[in-house]
Amino acid sequence: MIRFDRVVKKFDGGSVAVDNLSFEAQRGEITVLVGPSGCGKTTSLRMINRMIDPTSGQILLDEQPVGQIAPAQLRRGIGYVIQHAGLFPHRTVLDNVATVPRLAGWSKAKARTRAHEVLELVGLPGDYAVRYPSQLSGGQQQRVGVARALAADPSVMLMDEPFSAVDPIVREQLQDEFLRLQRELGKTIVFVTHDIDEAIKLGDKVAVLEVGGRLAQLAEPAYLLAHPINDFVSDFIGRDRGYRALAFQDAPDFPLRPEPTVELGTTPAQARLATSDGWLLVVTDGRPQGWIEPQRITVPIESAMLHRGGTVARNHGPLRAALDAALSAPSRRGVVVDDDGRLLGTVRADEVLRAIDAAERPAIDPADIAPAESP
Amino acid sequence: MITQVWQWLTSASSWEGSAGIGHRLLQHLEYSAITVLIASALAIPLGLWIGHTGRGRWMVTAANSLRAVPSLGLLFAVALWLGPKLHGNSAYVVPSIVVLVVLAIPPLLAGAYAGVAGVDPAARDAAHGMGMTEGQVLLQVEVPCALPLMLSGVRSATLQVIATATIASAVSLGGLGRFLIDGLALGEYNVMAGGAIVVALLALGVDTVLAALQAAVVSPGLSGGTSRFRGRRTRTDRGQPTASENEPGVVGVVAKG
């Protein structure tokens, strides 16, 4: 556990970067510090591993003040991942990852064996190990950065905008893999980002910081979306809060309707026989591939002819996915699948809305009702 | 003329003895090596320190302005000042070496400084953040990354010293410069031209050796021979719009706080 106890950081010249900050980052959880430029989130993060020392107050790591631990020793026990990865260009990927174990005094052989393991873990197996950072894409470099931080198996990880320098598609991949990894590893993670969507997606808890380094609100993402404590937080979270909150509410048992389907290769005549509706679902091996309009085809169905606009929702998955499946399907029938991706049936938007209406929202904490400028 | 130069260069007699090309060549190499070693011992640690701490950058600027000092003038000044205080060989060897060292320092200092100062700040930050001590950051990260520029400094200093060591013969120093100075005095222009050719070949030869050394010690990750994605590590993407930034009603969320 990491505890901030009335931490203040003033820089030379008197500007206050962090103002009386107190909060806890729980063991095994991802705590995201999010806020606009100048809110002191990076400064706060860097005070945990003593890259910066606070002006007053203290930070406790498992109840021990970090100020009492020598910086180098403290940092070797804490994984550190930064925006541009900061890989050492003169070392191979393998030796980059082996750096911290080597610093901790492991033998070269043991450190390299471990490095191979963590590279595998972050999805960079085999021949990547012998490459140099300049031979990797930005996303691959970030994976190496994460692997390097994990190599000595620290219980705490500090991550400073690790995914913000890669393109949106790669970013989403890295986020998903990061969450998968965290489910396996259960590290105590403090994660800094300026991207509220990333914060809401990754955080077990999200701490929203205001300019001037004050904590505006610390809560679970669903609570934050439902009950932002003041105008600053609601502005920062942005629009579509109600819709985005649906990502945290699981769908009930929908009254799923059976959906007629055909396989790829079906002839136009067979397809027209299969349904009376304007749209027909095409599956392979029970897995939905896309929609087709049987009245408009003249040749047997090929993959390239399919309408791919419809999203697919997992049964009992988030309500947001179910609503989106219904809204995005050209037939307006949202496709619901099981955990293996096999078709279970379809659900209509009004049925999802009824479920949304009935769903419980996070109860408001009485402490948040009393209007207060800063908690 | 060319035939005479060729004759001089190829006749066995001009290579033999203490005044022969062979001996002068070794002398020249010896003075140059001593000079570069002394200058490196002074300039490289200083350059590394300036680059690592960011302090004392004025010294690099000051050293660079030393390049403007005329070498021959400095040589006579130092020889006149130090010469009478020294005895025997050192009366002309020491002033010559001092002047050559002064000449070799600017490129060495600039190379070491620029090499360290140019290390990717993210790599340096990561090195500190993973628990390297200042010394480890310097030796394991900054110096290896600085090697290309540092060694370029060594090469250019070495070339300059080999070329300029010839003028030190004007204050009686041995080495290949003797052929130029004595050749001029005696009107043996074939000897002068031949000596100049030997100096040029020596410079080329030494530079080739140093280039090979540089290729051997600089990591392939830095020399660029391996890069398929060079230029892809952009430093500007911090400013790229994000999804949330495009939404009205969201306060500015670009830079890191």
Q: Measure A34 CA to nearest chain B CA, in Å.
A: 9
Give me the residue from A40, A148, A195 closest to B253, CB to CB.
A195
A214 reaches B (C-beta below 8 A): no
CATH number of the domain residue B215 falls in: 1.10.3720.10
Q: Can you give the pLDDT of all 257 residues of chain B as single tens digits?
A: 788 888 888 887 778 877 788 888 898 899 999 999 999 999 999 999 999 999 999 999 998 888 888 888 888 888 888 878 888 777 778 888 888 999 999 999 999 999 999 999 999 999 999 999 999 999 999 999 999 999 999 999 999 999 888 888 877 777 888 888 888 888 888 888 888 899 999 999 999 999 999 999 999 888 765 444 444 343 333 333 333 333 333 333 333 33
Chain A segment 315-344 residues within 8 A of B by beta carbon are none
Give me the residue from B130, B251, B253 closest to A75, CB to CB.
B130
Interchain proximity A51–B130, CB inside 8 Å: no
Interchain proximity A85–B247, CB inside 8 Å: no
User: In terms of CA atoms, which chain B residue is nearest residue A87?
Assistant: B123
Higher-confidence position of A114 and B245: A114
**Does residue B124 fall inside a structural domain?**
yes
Chain A segment 78-97 residues within 8 A of B by beta carbon are 80, 82-92
Residues of A in contact with B223 (CB under 8 A): none
Q: What is the pLDDT of residues A267-307, one digit of tens each?
A: 888 888 888 888 999 999 989 999 999 888 889 998 888 99
Confidence of residue A233 (pLDDT cuts 50, 70, 90): very high
Higher-confidence position of A167 and A46: A46
| pLDDT score, position A370 | 60
CATH number of the domain residue A347 falls in: 3.10.580.10
Confidence of residue A124 (pLDDT cuts 50, 70, 90): confident
**Does residue B231 fall inside a structural domain?**
no
Q: Measure B74 CA to nearest chain A CA, in Å.
A: 41
Residues A180 and A202 in one domain: yes
| pTM beyond cutoff 0.80 | no
Q: Measure A154 CA to nearest chain B CA, in Å.
A: 11
Residues A119 and A141 in one domain: yes
Residues A131 and A268 in one domain: no
Strands A280-284 and A261-263, by their bridges, are parallel
CB pairs under 8 A between A and B: 167
Last residue of a domain, which of A248, A276, A304?
A248
Residues A85 and A151 in one domain: yes
**Does residue A58 fall inside a structural domain?**
yes
- Do A13 and A189 touch, CB atoms closer than 8 A? no
Residues A234 and A283 in one domain: no
The count of domains in chain A is 2
| pLDDT score, position B191 | 84
Last residue of a domain, which of A203, A223, A248?
A248
**Does residue B250 fall inside a structural domain?**
no
Give me the residue from B132, B227, B238 closest to A103, CB to CB.
B132
User: In terms of CA atoms, which chain B residue is nearest residue A83?
Assistant: B122
Task: State which residues form the domain around B175.
Answer: 20-225
Interchain proximity B243–A145, CB inside 8 Å: no
Interchain proximity A100–B136, CB inside 8 Å: no
User: In terms of CA atoms, which chain A residue is nearest residue B237?
Assistant: A165
Long-range (24+ apart) CB contacts under 8 A made by B245-253 are: B247/A238, B247/A239, B248/A239, B249/A235, B249/A238, B249/A239, B250/A196, B250/A235, B250/A236, B250/A238, B250/A239, B251/A36, B251/A235, B251/A236, B252/A36, B252/A37, B253/A36, B253/A37, B253/A194, B253/A195, B253/A196, B253/A236
Interchain proximity A92–B224, CB inside 8 Å: no
| pLDDT score, position A372 | 52
Interchain proximity B256–A72, CB inside 8 Å: no
The count of domains in chain B is 1
Please determine, for residue A40, whether its predicted confidence score (pLDDT) is greater than 70: yes
A305 reaches B (C-beta below 8 A): no
- From the number of C-beta atoms within 10 Å of its C-beta (0-12, 13-18, 19+), residue A48 rates as buried
Interchain proximity A145–B126, CB inside 8 Å: yes
Task: State which residues form the domain around A157.
Answer: 2-248
Query: ipTM of this complex > 0.85?
Result: no
Interchain proximity B131–A89, CB inside 8 Å: no
| pLDDT score, position A21 | 93
Q: What is the pLDDT of residues A190-215, one digit of tens each?
A: 999 999 999 999 999 999 999 989 99
Q: What is the 3-state secondary structure (H, E, C) of chain A?
A: CEEEEEEEEECCCCCEEEEEEEEEECCCCEEEEECCCCCCHHHHHHHHCCCCCCCEEEEEECCEEHHHCCHHHHHHCEEEECCCCCCCCCCCHHHHHCHHHHHCCCCHHHHHHHHHHHHHHCCCCHHHHHCCHHHCCHHHHHHHHHHHHHCCCCCEEEEECCCCCCCHHHHHHHHHHHHHHHHHHCCEEEEEECCHHHHHHHCCEEEEEECCCEEEEEECHHHHHHCCCCHHHHHHHCCCHHHHHHHHCECCCCCCECCCEEECCCCHHHHHHHCCCCCEEEEECCEEEEEECHHHCCCCCCHHHCECCCCEEECCCEHHHHHHHHHHCCCCEEEEECCCCCEEEEEEHHHHHHHHHHCCCCCCCHHHCCCCCCC
**Does residue A367 fall inside a structural domain?**
no
Q: Quick one: which H or E segment has residue B241? A: none
Give me the residue from B122, B140, B254 closest to A82, CB to CB.
B122
| pLDDT score, position B239 | 36
Residues A243 and A265 in one domain: no
Chain A segment 235-264 residues within 8 A of B by beta carbon are 235-236, 238-239
| pLDDT score, position B241 | 35
**Does residue B31 fall inside a structural domain?**
yes
User: In terms of CA atoms, which chain B residue is nearest residue A152?
Assistant: B130
Residues A86 and A108 in one domain: yes
Last residue of a domain, which of A197, A213, A248?
A248
**Does residue A253 fall inside a structural domain?**
no
pLDDT (average), residues A310-317: 90
- Structure tokens, A20: 């009386």
Q: What is the pLDDT of residues A58-85, one digit of tens each?
A: 999 999 999 999 999 999 999 999 998 9
Percentage of chain A modeled with pLDDT above 70: 98
- Structure tokens, B230: 């060079």
Interchain proximity B221–A89, CB inside 8 Å: yes
**Does residue B248 fall inside a structural domain?**
no
- Residue B86, SS3 per DSSP: coil
| pLDDT score, position B147 | 94
A363 reaches B (C-beta below 8 A): no
Interchain proximity A103–B145, CB inside 8 Å: no
Whose CA is closest to B63, among B105, B111, B115, B118? B105
Please provide the average confidence, as pLDDT, over all residues in chain A.
91
**Does residue A24 fall inside a structural domain?**
yes
Residues A296 and A243 in one domain: no
Confidence of residue A373 (pLDDT cuts 50, 70, 90): low
Interchain proximity A43–B257, CB inside 8 Å: yes
Residues A280 and A351 in one domain: yes
Residues A10 and A82 in one domain: yes
**Does residue B233 fall inside a structural domain?**
no
Residues A134 and A58 in one domain: yes
Residues of A in contact with B228 (CB under 8 A): 135
Residues of B in contact with A130 (CB under 8 A): none
Residues A11 and A46 in one domain: yes
**Does residue A363 fall inside a structural domain?**
no
**Does residue B167 fall inside a structural domain?**
yes
| pLDDT score, position B224 | 66
CATH number of the domain residue A80 falls in: 3.40.50.300
| pLDDT score, position B235 | 38
